[in-house]
Amino acid sequence: MRAEDYLPHRPPFLFITALRSVEPGQSASGSWQLTGEEAFFAGHFPGRPTLPGVLMVEALAQLGGVAVLADPKFAGRLPLFGGIERARFRRQVVPGDRLDLEVTLGRMSARAGKGTGRATVGGELACQAELLFVLVDSTPAEQNV
Active site residue 9: no
Residues 112, 139: contact at Cβ < 8 Å?
Answer: no
Distances (CA, A) of 78 to 40, 45, 65: 26, 33, 8
The residue annotated as part of the active site, out of 9, 44, 91, 98, is 44
**HSE toward the beta carbon, residue 58, CA cutoff 13 A:** 10
Q: Which of 43, 66, 44 has the alpha carbon at shortest distance from 117?
A: 66
The catalytic residues are: 44
